[in-house]
Amino acid sequence: MRQKPQGENKELQRKLEQVSKEIRAISFGLQHLMREMSQLYEAVHSVAMNEDFTDVQCVDTLPRIGAEMLIAGYPLELMDGDVAHVPLEWIKAIFDKLIQKLGDKNVFVLSVLGVQSSGKSTLLNTMFGLQFAVSAGRCTRGVFMQLLEVDEEMRANLQFDFVLVVDTEGLRSPELSSEATLSHDNELATFIIGVGNMTLINIMGENPCEMQDILQICVQAFMRMTSVKINTSCIFVHQNVAETTASEKNQEGRRCLQNRLDQMTAIAAKEENLDIQSFSDIIHFDVDSQVFYFKNLLEGDPPMAPPNPSYSQNVQELKNKVFSIAQGQPGCNLPTLSEVKERIKDLWDALLRENFVFSFRNTLEIAVYSKLEKFYDQWSWSIRKHALEIQQSWRNKINSNLKDAVSVSDLMKEFDETYKTLTVYCVYARHVPCQTQVVHGRAFPSSVTDVTVTPANGSTARVLRNQREPQDECAVTRPLSADCEDSTFTRYVARLAQRDRIVPN
């Protein structure tokens, strides 16, 4: 079969991407109308703040429509799914209208978080009888909230009047590029966990590893947000687990998960100079009672498969657990509507100010980056110091009439030794196909020789050895091919970080 030229494939991919964007652009729903209303409201108020514009009454009725929608039981968009933005002025105005109509009532905020197509919206629909959109793929875009009134007979026991259910789009979406997905998912998860009094971590299957990295970033982000008071808890929900003894057989796995989260929390706390040792110090979590395993939603293959009664029983057990935790949170009063409004504002402002942790995959990468930054500061200072010394030396020679002028070749000779030393490390981060990448155990070795080795796979790697310390021969080499996995790179860097001798740029 004849293959198409690479250029033609790229052109077809470009056209396919354009068609996908057009399909997404023509989708239309009630949330788009409300989004236009929010943008109109924020635009008018922005102009009124910056200019002498007082005719804002023309848009003051718009938040009342959003508040009435929430009271009537319709979901309202909290975060724009297309641009990942929270219209604060619009949300604050809606909450103000809610307070005017309902009073400043106590509210329990329940949010859900998980990867795409893991059954988040289905879980909320089954638990509360809602109608969040469910389908394959990226059916939920952004964040939606829906207000549920608690029955009069239950308010005295539960100690809150309303439940604010927050549904979110799935993480790790294939529709987003890899670069955008990492930062987008970390910011979204941090916002959702911070807003909710409790977050349901929804996982498809028994393995929770897909959510570990995101939770680590959330914890470190909360540590850095000194202006936001975080008091939240989480429950892990494993979907599509048919084995009835899954809870007993996964005890060791849950213990390892708890230990892993505690270790990463301790590392993050050390980076932030905080005295925090466990994951539960930031996000309340009991590994023995706050992990649930759900049966399959359907019995058989759709579309004729009936619902599984066991799934409904699992959801009811989870619902009872959620309300029991909400009822018995020690020393914690559930927030009012005005406090939820302020929490959303403070959390979003903190997310906009925080531009560091969300670009990393997990806490270990942040710790490694901090070490790299320290070495980089040493290298840059060494270069500046060497340049100042050369400048002073040549100035003295010129003033003493020992030298009339300085050529570029003279300066290059002075920098030659320092340049060769630093080149070893500066080349580390370059991704050049069919070449190698070198890490050495010393920032400025006295003398270095090149040794070419051929591993079992036949690829050639260049290893640097420090002649002064032969026992320090252990160097890490990594092929600089474009298809090299990031996990491999992270593993090598983590090994050097444990030795406290990591020196790549």
430 in Cβ contact with 437 (< 8 Å):
yes
Preceding omega of 335 cis (within 30 degrees of 0) = no
Q: Which of 328, 361, 394 is the last residue of a domain?
A: 361
For the chain, the 3-state helix, strand and coil shares in percent, each to the nearest 5, are 50, 15, 35
The answer as to whether 214 is a domain residue is yes
Number of structural domains (the chain) is 3
The answer as to whether 6 is a domain residue is no
The answer as to whether 7 is a domain residue is no
Q: Same domain, yes or no, for 89 and 155?
A: no
CA distance 490 to 434: 20
What per-residue confidence (pLDDT) applies to 87?
93
Q: Same domain, yes or no, for 223 and 160?
A: yes
The answer as to whether 51 is a domain residue is yes
Residues 6 or more apart whose CB falls under 8 angstroms from that of 60 comprise: none
374 in Cβ contact with 503 (< 8 Å):
no
Q: Which residues of 404-423 are buried (b: 16+ CB within 10 A; e: fewer)?
A: eeeeeeeeeebeeebeebbe
What are the Cα distances from residue 449, in Å, to 56, 88, 425, 436? Answer: 73, 60, 14, 16
Q: Is the pTM of this model over 0.85?
A: no
Domain, as residue range, for 275: 104-361
The tens-digit pLDDT sequence of the chain (505 residues) is 455 566 678 888 888 878 877 776 777 778 888 889 999 888 888 877 666 666 667 778 899 999 999 999 899 999 988 888 999 999 999 999 999 999 999 999 999 998 887 888 889 999 998 888 776 656 677 899 999 999 888 888 888 999 999 999 888 777 665 556 778 888 899 999 999 999 999 988 888 887 888 888 898 889 888 667 788 899 999 988 877 777 777 888 888 888 988 988 888 888 888 888 889 889 999 888 899 999 888 887 777 788 888 899 999 999 999 999 888 765 457 899 999 999 999 999 988 888 777 777 778 777 777 777 777 777 778 778 888 888 888 888 888 887 777 777 777 777 777 766 666 554 444 333 333 333 333 333 333 333 333 333 333 333 333 333 333 333 333 333 333 344 434 443 443 344 333 333 3
* 210: CATH: 3.40.50.300
What per-residue confidence (pLDDT) applies to 504?
37
Q: Same domain, yes or no, for 276 and 157?
A: yes
CA distance 188 to 57: 33
φ/ψ (deg, to 5) at 38: -65, -40
Residue 78: how many other CB atoms lie within 10 Å: 24
Q: Same domain, yes or no, for 281 and 323?
A: yes
CA distance 114 to 189: 9
Q: Same domain, yes or no, for 353 and 398?
A: no
Q: Are strands 291-293 and 107-114 parallel, antiparallel or unpaired?
A: unpaired
**Which secondary-structure segment (H or E) carries 4?**
none
* Helix/strand/coil for 397: helix
Q: Which of 341, 361, 381 is the last residue of a domain?
A: 361
What per-residue confidence (pLDDT) applies to 227?
65
Q: Same domain, yes or no, for 175 and 204?
A: yes
DSSP secondary structure string for all residues of 301-324: STTSPPBPHHHHHHHHHHHHHHHH
307 token code pair: 């619902």
CA distance 290 to 325: 10
Q: Same domain, yes or no, for 167 and 87?
A: no
What are the Cα distances from residue 176, in Å, to 82, 171, 198, 216? Answer: 11, 10, 27, 22
The answer as to whether 11 is a domain residue is no
Residue 303: how many other CB atoms lie within 10 Å: 5
Residues 6 or more apart whose CB falls under 8 angstroms from that of 189 comprise: 113, 171, 214, 215, 217, 218
Q: Which of 330, 361, 392 is the last residue of a domain?
A: 361
* Helix/strand/coil for 461: strand
Q: Same domain, yes or no, for 232 and 268?
A: yes
Q: Same domain, yes or no, for 140 and 246?
A: yes
Sign of the torsion formed by the C-alpha atoms of 60, 65, 71 and 74: negative
Q: Are strands 461-466 and 448-453 parallel, antiparallel or unpaired?
A: antiparallel
The answer as to whether 483 is a domain residue is yes
Q: Same domain, yes or no, for 402 and 444?
A: yes
136 in Cβ contact with 130 (< 8 Å):
no
The answer as to whether 294 is a domain residue is yes
AA letter at 98: L
Q: Same domain, yes or no, for 95 and 109?
A: no
111 in Cβ contact with 127 (< 8 Å):
no
Q: Same domain, yes or no, for 330 and 386?
A: no
CA distance 448 to 450: 7
Helix spans in 149-290 (H): 152-158, 178-195, 209-224, 246-249, 251-271
CA distance 121 to 315: 13
The answer as to whether 1 is a domain residue is no
Residues 6 or more apart whose CB falls under 8 angstroms from that of 199 comprise: 110, 111, 112, 113, 192, 193, 232, 233, 234, 235, 283
